[in-house]
């Protein structure tokens, strides 16, 4: 059975990834700050798929030492880790310079330093194994700089995408390391992160539908994917190439 580790797995996209990967036969290592929700998810998965191994760990990804320790515990428990999904993140934010810097800093620390810590620990394991699949969850917001409450969030997700691309560049043509790096750019997928947003979001899909597209891309081992493909594949191209005033209207 393949083994997948997912951070930020207590709710939203991470929890649904766990459900769908369990259905595909994956054993799971699930990490998040809220272990009560993880325990409920494990019971749900065991009820649906009694043969699945589901291991849980409490983890705050902003604690670099804890990330290394937890990933190492998963490796020791499962023997081999086939995939690590860097999913944990925050979506807090406020317009820059409006006196609410704390929300922006919290998002930046979690999404940038937390993602870096996870990538470091994952790649250390994969280099030792000489194989593995690192999945970095970015966002369609990473395509361009965005205004107001999402300025910091978009910038952090651009960091995640560039970190993943740098690793892919390094690994290209390697004869010794069979390591795949996938960057996923989710569009508007209903999750706990955005369920408080009052403004209607265009092209929003439900969690199950959105995650199904994410899991399909993971399983194919693609370099990168905008998910769901419609409308985000063409919209991503538009966002990268249209003048900034037009992009601002799209968002």
Tokens for 112, please give them. 């940038």
**49 counts as catalytic:** no
Q: Report which of 40, 112, 92, 102 is spatially closest to residue 196, judged by C-alpha positions.
A: 92
- Pick the catalytic residue from 49, 153, 185, 188: 153
Q: Which residues pair with 55 in a beta bridge?
A: 29
> In 62-73, which positions are buried (b, 16+ CB within 10 angstroms) versus exposed (e)?
beeebbbebbee
What residues are labeled active site? 153
């Amino acid at each position: 059975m393949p083994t997948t580790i997912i951070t930020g797995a207590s709710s939203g996209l991470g929890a649904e990834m766990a459900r769908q990967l369990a259905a595909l036969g994956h054993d799971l290592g699930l990490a998040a700050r809220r272990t009560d929700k993880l325990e409920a998810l494990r019971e749900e998965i065991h009820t649906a798929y009694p043969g699945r191994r589901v291991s849980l760990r409490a983890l705050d990804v902003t604690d670099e030492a804890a990330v290394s320790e937890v990933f190492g515990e998963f490796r020791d428990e499962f023997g081999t880790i086939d995939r690590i999904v860097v999913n944990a993140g925050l979506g807090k934010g406020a317009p820059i310079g409006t006196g609410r810097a704390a929300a922006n800093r919290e998002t930046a620390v979690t999404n940038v330093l937390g993602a870096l810590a996870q990538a470091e620990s994952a790649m250390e394991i994969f280099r030792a194994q000489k194989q593995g699949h690192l999945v970095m969850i970015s966002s369609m917001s990473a395509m361009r700089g965005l205004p107001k409450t999402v300025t910091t969030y978009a910038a952090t997700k651009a960091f995640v995408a560039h970190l993943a691309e740098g690793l892919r560049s390094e690994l290209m043509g390697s004869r010794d390391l069979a390591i795949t790096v996938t960057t996923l750019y989710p569009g508007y997928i209903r999750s706990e992160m955005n369920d408080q947003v009052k403004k209607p979001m265009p092209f929003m899909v439900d969690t199950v539908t959105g995650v199904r597209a994410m899991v399909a891309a993971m399983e194919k081992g693609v370099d990168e994917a905008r998910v769901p493909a419609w409308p985000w594949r063409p919209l991503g191209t538009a966002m990268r190439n249209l003048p900034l005033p037009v992009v601002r209207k799209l968002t």
